[in-house]
């Protein structure tokens, strides 16, 4: 299974015994939308709803930090996602949140994970079948496991300021990155991590909402000053759209890491240096 699959491919695979389809839509509280209610109103037949808001570390004030491996495995088991499952993720969020689910699943040991190109919007636009209500869930075993090599911490990001070993790429808007626009979180400084580059996440997509591919996608990263042959860490506001950049890099063969705390951690920490202006 490719990392990015088409609606046509998924339609042909629906019903396969090892296939699990997951709606990973997430909205910010300020959006005033209910992702769970939207799922129950309409979803791809057989799809289960992964609640990203609930799949977070509740022991920290930082938003959307990775949960413990035990909590993640327990939630996956209850959704019927188990060892040996092929998982296809989709969303209907402007933040492309299926990429955050992809990052989490890979971090916690699932390997056969893909994202549906164009998401639920493309599925619906093509007039494909949808279902409503909740799906019947069957518990499956998901081994508790974690690999932190794709996750960066605050201390690692501070150390990288001195070594420059890894390129840092920020998915936020140009105005947020430059500091022209204040951060929406209280007591969080404006600006960006010194030395980081900026690639607003929307630039990875075509006008129809599908992913850029091949040379077009590569040119987007290179236009932001990134050498995809070198190590890369992605960041954003809270680790969600950073995961989108990481998925885009993955499509081009670069296994980028994600700074999980992102700007909500760095920008609120008084000990970290902040830069202003364009990259």
Is 132 in contact with 43 (CB distance < 8 Å)?
yes
Query: Rounded to whole angstroms, how far apart are CA atoms 115 and 247?
Result: 9
Q: How far is CA 151 from the centre of its chain?
A: 12
The residues carrying an active-site annotation are 236
Burial of 94 (0-12, 13-18, 19+ CB in 10 A): middle
Torsion, Cα of 88, 64, 104, 92 (10° steps): 10
Is 65 in contact with 48 (CB distance < 8 Å)?
no
Six-digit token pair at 245? 């950049």
Is 109 in contact with 84 (CB distance < 8 Å)?
no
């Amino acid at each position: 299974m490719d990392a990015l699959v088409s609606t046509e491919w998924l339609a042909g695979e629906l019903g396969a015994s090892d296939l699990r389809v997951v709606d990973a839509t997430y909205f910010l509280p300020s959006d005033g939308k209910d992702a769970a209610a939207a799922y129950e109103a309409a979803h791809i037949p057989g799809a289960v709803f992964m609640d990203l808001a609930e799949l977070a570390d509740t022991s920290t004030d930082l938003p959307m930090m990775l949960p413990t491996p035990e909590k993640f495995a327990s939630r996956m088991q209850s959704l019927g996602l188990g060892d040996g499952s092929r998982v296809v993720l989709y969303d209907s969020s402007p933040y492309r949140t299926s990429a955050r689910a992809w990052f989490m699943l890979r971090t916690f040991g699932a390997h056969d994970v893909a994202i549906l190109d164009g998401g639920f919007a493309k599925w619906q636009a093509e007039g494909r079948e949808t279902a409503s209500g909740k799906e019947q869930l069957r518990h499956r075993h998901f081994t508790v496991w974690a690999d932190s090599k794709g996750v960066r911490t605050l201390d690692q990001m501070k150390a990288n300021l001195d070594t420059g070993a890894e390129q840092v790429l920020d998915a936020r808007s140009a105005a947020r990155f430059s500091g022209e626009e204040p951060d929406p979180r209280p007591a969080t400084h404006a600006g960006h991590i010194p030395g980081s580059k900026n690639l607003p996440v929307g630039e990875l997509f075509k006008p129809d909402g599908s992913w850029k591919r091949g040379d077009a996608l590569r040119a987007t990263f290179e236009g932001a000053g990134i050498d995809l042959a070198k190590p890369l860490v992605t960041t954003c506001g809270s680790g969600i759209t950073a995961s989108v950049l990481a998925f885009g890099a993955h499509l081009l063969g670069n296994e980028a890491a994600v700074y999980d705390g992102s700007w909500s951690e760095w920008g609120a920490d008084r000990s970290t240096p902040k830069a202003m202006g364009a990259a």
